[in-house]
Amino acid sequence: MSEIGEALAGSEPATPARGQEANSPFSTSPRLVRAAPLWRLLGPVRGYLIGCSILSALGAAAGLAPYIAIAEIARVALAAESVAAVSETIWTWVLIGIAGGALRLVLVFFSSRLGHYADAEILHDIRVKLVRRLGVFPIGWFRSVGSGAVKKVMTTDLEDMHQLIAHALGEIIGAAVAIIVGIGYLILVDWRMTAVTVAALLAWALFFKVAMRSMSLHLARLNAAEARISAASVEYADGITVVKTFGTGGRILERFAEAVREHTEAFRAWVDETRYSSAAARLLGSEMAVLAVVMVTGIWMISGDAMQAADLLPFLVVGIGLPTAIMPAVLGEQGLRRGRLAAGNIEDLLSRPGIPEALVARTPNGHRIEFDKVSFSYDGVSDAVSAVSAICEPGTLTALVGPSGAGKSTLASLVPRFYDVSAGAIRIGGTDIRAIPTPLLLSSMSLVFQDVILLRDTVRENIRIGRPDASDDDVRAAARAAQVDHVIERLPHGYDTPLGTESAGLSGGERQRLTIARAILSDAPIVILDEATAALDPDSESAVQAALAELTAGKTVLVIAHRLHTIAGAHQILVLDAGKVAERGTHAELIACRGLYARMWRAQQGGEAA
């Protein structure tokens, strides 16, 4: 058994959570709302939520006291021969109403405090878990789902969770208790009129149920459409230069427009299905509808001596207010549905398998890189890299060259495990990289890419990310080695200048040298350069090449290059074509072979001469 087999022996394959594949937050198929993920996610703050619910219930009950007090005062006053005879009773009800209103304010305040405290605590926990989980996913996963889908989980779904925890839960509990207490009080007054009032509310509930019969599926379709809009928006913003150059008929804009159309169609389908039942529900659930039912029935019963006129007053005060209590429950229930759907999305993301880690971690002995019959496929059908074998010795520079699509960047991305090989193995220091803990593997490498990524932070912190515990003197030394210190000193605030989307006006070459300074500061024994000078002008390229010489001294270096003159002094050049090693050797040896490398060299030299 191979060493990686030994390291992984006894481990069970990672399996997705139940329903994960079918109900992935990044799929376009509708998802049924599930309660279990929400229950699990809220586990750490259930105590706070129970307290919030109890306070909301007590607050809702206390909130009815002023209305009941008004109704009872009117009943007592109408039934008495004179107000003076019942003044003590009236003042008792006045005090009850005032106390109930004041108690409601206190209870609602503390209920809201508990709900928002639980919200802040659990969302912080979820955000930390999401960020850590995203860190173990392969780069290919992000490219396949798009940043917009990830953004939806990190923003929209978390906002839905916030609405549920901080607001909807208290609204549902409070509304339910208010309805129950209100109906209970009305039953004590007259059960027959209560039955009529409840019947009017049940008619509303029936039409509402019909209107919301497919709400879960429609919400799932809308959420899927929103995820596509978010992804298309990010793609559209990133490619705005292309869109403006080639007009509005480009594929980027078309994908955005298609996502918007899908969202519109999803909303239209829901509206078409519910327009009549929803209108009926709104009519029957209004205070005016309940008032009409109560007045007509009450007058009929009073005229037939079936009820006292004073007993109609509680139904006019409390009864017609029941729809007002119902609407928060309806809105809260919709918030609950969205929260459950969001919790399912979040749990699916948290439960997705990342790059597998070996059960038995191994430490490499040195920094020699070995490619042993390495193959990799993006789609599982055709190989982007096929049976590549090579050795990169410490203190040497190995260059990867070849035409576009030859597999250069793919092969380099396999070393830091941005993807896992489909076949074969990559070893560092004699140890399969799949047996090396990911933090240890990545800490042994400095990566410099053609596409420069700078954080929205100060220049100092952008460099220091290569070694967070580095001193200011170390940062400056790295900047000087990268030949960018004098550029930083010219910035408005020097090393404390914040870098935004425009990177403080730095040129492409200057931004590239910042990333090289970052890599120099990390002082990792392995350096991977992905076409670091491909898009630079000659002056910038010269400065970056000098910085790279400082970075790569004495390291195991793997370079991807299009400009062959930049790697003419490499110890080893691998010429890739269609994912395979077509040629290998030094510059002189490959020129003498008169093969693919020699043709590429002559083409570039001829172009430069021209």
CA pair distance 26, 443, nearest whole angstrom? 31
Say what the alpha-carbon torsion angle 512, 518, 521, 527 is, to the nearest 10 degrees: -70
Residue 510 and residue 535 in one domain: no
14, pLDDT greater than 70: no
Residue 392 and residue 484 in one domain: no
17, pLDDT greater than 50: no
Which pLDDT score is estimated for 187? 93
pLDDT tens digit string along 541-566? 666 667 667 767 778 889 888 888 88
Residue 78 and residue 140 in one domain: yes
CA pair distance 415, 398, nearest whole angstrom? 13
Contact 350/25 with Cβ under 8 angstroms? no
CA pair distance 291, 268, nearest whole angstrom? 33
Strand runs labelled E in 480-531: 526-530
Residue 528 and residue 565 in one domain: yes
List the CATH number of the domain containing 6: 1.20.1560.10
Find the mean pLDDT for residues 471-492: 86
Which pLDDT score is estimated for 107? 93
> On the CB side of 9, how many CA atoms lie within 13 Å of its CA?
7
58, pLDDT greater than 90: yes
CA pair distance 208, 203, nearest whole angstrom? 9
Q: pTM higher than 0.75, yes or no?
A: no
Boundary (domain end) residue, out of 313, 329, 351: 351
Residue 281 and residue 315 in one domain: yes
Residue 458 and residue 533 in one domain: no
Residue 328 and residue 273 in one domain: yes
Identify which has the larger pLDDT, 331 or 574. 574
CA pair distance 446, 548, nearest whole angstrom? 11
Point out the least confidently predicted range of 122-131, 176-185, 296-305, 510-519.
Answer: 510-519
Angle at 460 between CA 454 and CA 465, to 5 degrees: 60
Boundary (domain end) residue, out of 284, 316, 351: 351
Which pLDDT score is estimated for 256? 75
Find the mean pLDDT for residues 60-81: 87
For residue 311, being part of any structural domain is answered with yes
Residue 482 and residue 598 in one domain: no
CA pair distance 522, 367, nearest whole angstrom? 16
DSSP string, 95-118: HHHHHHHHHHHHHHHHHHHHHHHH
Q: What percent of the chain has pLDDT over 90?
A: 16
In 3D, which of 396, 140, 191 has the Cα closest to residue 311? 191
Quick one: pLDDT band at residue 379, thresholds 50, 70, 90? confident
CA pair distance 7, 435, nearest whole angstrom? 6
Which pLDDT score is estimated for 29? 44
For residue 343, being part of any structural domain is answered with yes
Q: What percent of the chain has pLDDT over 70?
A: 85
Q: Is 296 exposed, middle or buried (0-12, 13-18, 19+ CB in 10 A)?
A: exposed
In 3D, which of 585, 537, 589 has the Cα closest to residue 563? 537
| Secondary structure element (H or E) that encloses residue 391, with its range | strand 385-392
Identify which has the larger pLDDT, 473 or 530. 473
Residue 363 and residue 325 in one domain: no
List the CATH number of the domain containing 392: 3.40.50.300
Contact 39/340 with Cβ under 8 angstroms? no
Find the mean pLDDT for residues 44-54: 90
CA pair distance 393, 558, nearest whole angstrom? 10
Find the mean pLDDT for residues 84-99: 88
What is residue 458's DSSP assignment?
B
For residue 29, being part of any structural domain is answered with no
For residue 449, being part of any structural domain is answered with no
Which pLDDT score is estimated for 95? 94
For residue 27, being part of any structural domain is answered with no
Domain with 549 in it: 355-444+524-610
Highest mean pLDDT among 26-40, 440-454, 545-559, 563-577: 563-577
| Secondary structure element (H or E) that encloses residue 524, with its range | none
For residue 250, being part of any structural domain is answered with yes
501, pLDDT greater than 80: no
Strand order in the sheet with 385-392: 385-392, 369-376, 423-428, 431-432
Type of residue at 416? P
Quick one: pLDDT band at residue 391, thresholds 50, 70, 90? very high
Q: Is 594 exposed, middle or buried (0-12, 13-18, 19+ CB in 10 A)?
A: exposed
For residue 201, being part of any structural domain is answered with yes
Boundary (domain end) residue, out of 517, 541, 564: 517
Residue 153 and residue 259 in one domain: yes
Tokens of 183: 């109906």
Contact 521/495 with Cβ under 8 angstroms? no
3-class SS letters over 539-566 = HHHHHHHHHHHHHHCCCEEEEECCCHHH
Residue 84 and residue 203 in one domain: yes
CA pair distance 69, 418, nearest whole angstrom? 69
Residue 61 and residue 192 in one domain: yes
For residue 283, being part of any structural domain is answered with yes
The tally of domains found in the chain comes to: 3
